[in-house]
Structure 1
Amino acid sequence: MPASLVAAFIGTLGSVGVAPAGEDVIILGAAVSLTGKYAQNGANTKNGYEFAVRKINDRGGIEIGGTSYKLVVHYFDDESTPARGTELAERLIQQDGVKYILGPYSSGLTKAILPVVEKHKVPMVEANGAARELFTKGYRYIFAVLSTSDQYLTPVIDLAAEHAEELGKTPETLTVALAIENDSFAQDVRAGVLADIERHGMRCVIDDQLPPELNDMSVTLAKVKALRPDVLVISGHEKGALTAISQIKALKVYVPILAMTHCDSAQIAEKLGDAAEYALCAQQWHRSLGYKDEVFGTAEDFAKEFKDAYNYEAPYQSAQSAAAVHVFAEAFKRAQSLDPEKVRDALAATELQSFYGPVKFDASGRNVAKSVVLSQVQGGKYVVVAPAQWAAGKPIIPRPPNRSLLPARAKAKPSAPRRRSRARRGSSASRRARSIA
């Protein structure tokens, strides 16, 4: 099907929250990635928007000046390309008369449409553009519910420092390898990790850029085998996460600490099983966190209802997308107006406690009230292990190694007799892993 027809089809049939004829509505516009390389998280974004619209409308909608309004979202497929996203933002505002925008998926696509919403002075609440550069241009109409990407994996370096003794080292002697996609989000992740490496006095021994197609990490993994870093940090969206876990297993690579972004939306535990065990994963939100609000209930309530609606576990991308709709709804209520400038001012004054976490914007539109959490795949589940206030379990460091993946230095001495090796209950590395587990 030609791209133009796909977009027209989605624009016609992709509206959510359509009210019966005669009802008052507030129309939100959204260009999201339903095809192309971001399609998986584009769908997660759209599902989060849909879920929130239904919840808010089922509660009676939004009352402004004594009139109840229902939310409606008009969707188009940006095909995961900035040029198409820019074109569709113009269409939504200029042709369709949309006065309020929900953001796309990814920092790159958010960056592409920002000049459009600024030019037309249309407020946008976005949930999936985390790069810091979005908030350094003086834009007034962007409001982001998520934490910026430089924060994603910095807790990993802190954990490594805390557990250096279990690795037989001090923090200053730990070595770190990076494999990072060349986009604004991942490069922000890299910057945050490098700053923490320097703060702890560690050493970065590999600083590689992932290939554009994110389908091969073998060059980097060969270096990891040779240099044996203590920590391997990977950021390459969903495809990069799946490629990393698959090739680490296939190439029999072992690192004591493995950390990455986009674990849960890539479903590394569900798709790759034991190979994903003990990977540390950056997450904006998790169902075990103690957040709640009057619309969605607790984080756990949201997770259960989302799974009932869509038949899969809610990734944080869906949760934060739902939160974006919630923030818009609350701003309409406080503004008691549909004037975009008054809604923009109400958004700027947001101080909201939600199932997703606290939301408060600084002058640049960043949410400065919430932090990223770190989970670890344990028994096929994503268990929050940091920060301590939200931890549901303890991090298992170093990763208990699959003996077939152990480098020679960590294996039992080959000269030891077989029976004696059993009596000694395995290598020092495996005993250390059991004691930590």
Structure 2
Amino acid sequence: MRIFPTLTIAAAGLVAFGGAAFAQDTITLGSAVSLTGNYSTNGEHTQRGYDLAVEKINEAGGIKVGDKTYKLEVKYYDDESTPARGAELAERLVKQDGIKLILGPYGSGLTKAVAPVTEELQVPMVEANGASRSLFTNGWKYIFATLSTSEQYLASAIALAAENAEALGKKPEEIKVAVVVENDPFSADVRAGVLDDMKKYGMQLVIDDQFPRELNDMSATLTKVKALKPDVLIVSGHSKGAATGIRQVSEQKVYVPILAMTHCDSADIIGNFGVASEYTLCATQWAPTLSYKDDLFGSAADYAKTFEAKYGYAPPYQAAESSAAVQVFADALERAGSTDPKAVRDALAATDIETFYGKIKFDETGKNIAKPMALYQVLDGEYKIVAPSAVAETKAVIPRPAMN
């Protein structure tokens, strides 16, 4: 994306232009995000990612649509972490507020509730936090996702286990895996991807547990882990699941050679659990040490510095992918030369850009097919990329040392 030209001063009042609603010289995007409820932590990361990109784009001069230049802004509603509420608010944004360009909510469940609304009303949605592969099997034409889909999240952990089978004293097909996930669409897909990748190596599934939403007690699974001694423990349950996993593995003195999970950064496992988080493998869509860059934020590391300076903490990938969603909209609006929803939708479908978050290019279903998942490990109190090998900072420590 290029640096945008100088912006004319925004005037007061609302006007209509090409089917979109915006303050004069300001294009308004709409989003219902989880500011309260179970997903409020990641909802806040999502909102902050959107806001930071809007701020940077406006500081750089806004966006040129046709022969006019505009600022961006976002109108938010709180979906209360409830899918039905999210769908209701998405309809409100379009029908009552007149907003025809939608930024997605946090989470696959919420996105799955909103997507039929935007599809029926034929308004494009760029979403950054709904990774469920089921979002892209319905033939929908108005949804576009910046992130990798959920079945890919921990596949690299299984591949890493296979690569290190000798260090575990086994052949790949002798490796035993335990899986514990929250019963929600995202985690169900993570599980499916893990099982598919296990089959490639002939690995053995010895524990396969699913718990109700808010994965806040893994005691039953961990009792089985002590008895069955799996080589790999996979955990997926959003921020609460990651926190529960680290805390209870430590408290109950459970040892597994490989512990891999989602949502490590949004749960701040290093800050909250210190040494107990050491050697944990964590799925990530993005990391500041990756070599991606663009003209707006600079490098991935530059984005991280900018985010931390504003919000006081290192950006989790949920924030980074959300910022990238705003960049995708800005790029599409410029190429469309219009805010007409159909024209913007067609421009989105043709997206092929480099960003600080990675390359973004959509297939016919709206999935980003250009950016792989990464895997980092907590080493000496820091996240270090250990997979895929092409972008690894260092070699993974496998097996993880037993903690005292």
TM normalised by structure 1 equals 0.87
Alpha-carbon distance in 2 for matches of 1:212, 1:182: 6
Residue 215 of structure 2 aligns to a residue whose secondary structure is: coil
CA 1:19 to 1:398, structure 2 compared with 1: closer, same or farther past 3 Å? farther
Shift of 1:213: 3.0
Shift of 1:216: 0.5
Residue 259 of structure 1 aligns to a residue whose secondary structure is: strand
Higher radius of gyration, 1 or 2: 1
Match of 2:302, as an amino acid? D
Match of 2:288, as an amino acid? R
Corresponding residue of 1:57: 58
Shift of 1:64: 1.7
Corresponding residue of 1:137: 138
Alpha-carbon distance in 1 for matches of 2:400, 2:10: 52
Match of 1:389, as an amino acid? A
Alpha-carbon distance in 1 for matches of 2:265, 2:25: 38
Corresponding residue of 1:384: 385
Shift of 1:20: 5.0
Pairing 1:18-417 to 2, within 5 Å after superposition: 19-21=10-12, 23-402=24-403, 404=404
Contact 1:26 1:70 in 2 (8 A): yes
Shift of 1:67: 1.0
Match of 1:26, as an amino acid? I
Corresponding residue of 2:20: none
Alpha-carbon distance in 2 for matches of 1:207, 1:19: 56
Shift of 1:41: 0.2
Residue 264 of structure 1 aligns to a residue whose secondary structure is: coil
Contact 1:19 1:72 in 2 (8 A): no
Alpha-carbon distance in 1 for matches of 2:344, 2:157: 38
Residue 266 of structure 2 aligns to a residue whose secondary structure is: helix
Write out per-residue CA displacement over residues 392-424 of structure 1, whole angstroms, 9 at most, x where no aligned residue. Answer: 11100000112x4xxxxxxxxxxxxxxxxxxxx
Write out per-residue CA displacement over residues 73-93 of structure 1, whole angstroms, 9 at most, x where no aligned residue. Answer: 000000000011011001100
Alpha-carbon distance in 2 for matches of 1:337, 1:48: 25
Match of 2:114, as an amino acid? I
Shift of 1:210: 2.4
Alpha-carbon distance in 2 for matches of 1:20, 1:210: 52
Contact 1:260 1:280 in 2 (8 A): yes
Shift of 1:38: 0.2
Match of 1:142, as an amino acid? I
Shift of 1:243: 0.5
Of residues 166-175 and 306-315 in structure 1, the stretch that sits farther from structure 2 once superposed is 166-175
Counting helix residues as a fraction of each chain, which structure ranks higher? 1
Of residues 209-218 and 71-80 in structure 1, the stretch that sits farther from structure 2 once superposed is 209-218
Contact 2:184 2:213 in 1 (8 A): no
Alpha-carbon distance in 2 for matches of 1:149, 1:78: 22
Alpha-carbon distance in 2 for matches of 1:384, 1:180: 23
Alpha-carbon distance in 2 for matches of 1:153, 1:105: 20
Residue 306 of structure 2 aligns to a residue whose secondary structure is: helix
Match of 1:27, as an amino acid? T
Write out per-residue CA displacement over residues 160-197 of structure 1, whole angstroms, 9 at most, x where no aligned residue. Answer: 11111111111111100000111111011001100111
Alpha-carbon distance in 2 for matches of 1:300, 1:256: 31
Alpha-carbon distance in 2 for matches of 1:229, 1:313: 33
Shift of 1:252: 0.7
How many residue pairs get aligned? The number is 386
Match of 2:190, as an amino acid? V
**Percent of pairs with identical residues:** 62
Alpha-carbon distance in 2 for matches of 1:103, 1:92: 12
Shift of 1:214: 1.3
Which is bigger in relative contact order (C-alpha 8 A, separation at least 6)? 2
Shift of 1:19: 4.7
Alpha-carbon distance in 1 for matches of 2:319, 2:264: 14
Alpha-carbon distance in 1 for matches of 2:199, 2:100: 45
Shift of 1:211: 3.4
Write out per-residue CA displacement over residues 315-367 of structure 1, whole angstroms, 9 at most, x where no aligned residue. Answer: 00000000000000000010111111000000000001110000000010000
Residue 274 of structure 1 aligns to a residue whose secondary structure is: helix
Contact 1:180 1:234 in 2 (8 A): yes
Alpha-carbon distance in 2 for matches of 1:20, 1:287: 37
Write out per-residue CA displacement over residues 99-130 of structure 1, whole angstroms, 9 at most, x where no aligned residue. Answer: 10000000000000111101110000000000
Q: Which runs of 5+ in 1 are unaligned?
A: 1-17, 405-437
Q: Which runs of 5+ in 2 are unaligned?
A: 1-8, 14-23
| Runs of 4+ displaced beyond 4 Å | none
Alpha-carbon distance in 2 for matches of 1:156, 1:143: 27
Residue 100 of structure 2 aligns to a residue whose secondary structure is: coil
Shift of 1:65: 2.2
Match of 1:173, as an amino acid? E
Match of 2:394, as an amino acid? G
Write out per-residue CA displacement over residues 128-176 of structure 1, whole angstroms, 9 at most, x where no aligned residue. Answer: 0000000000100000000000000011111111111111111111100
Contact 2:285 2:317 in 1 (8 A): yes
Corresponding residue of 1:410: none
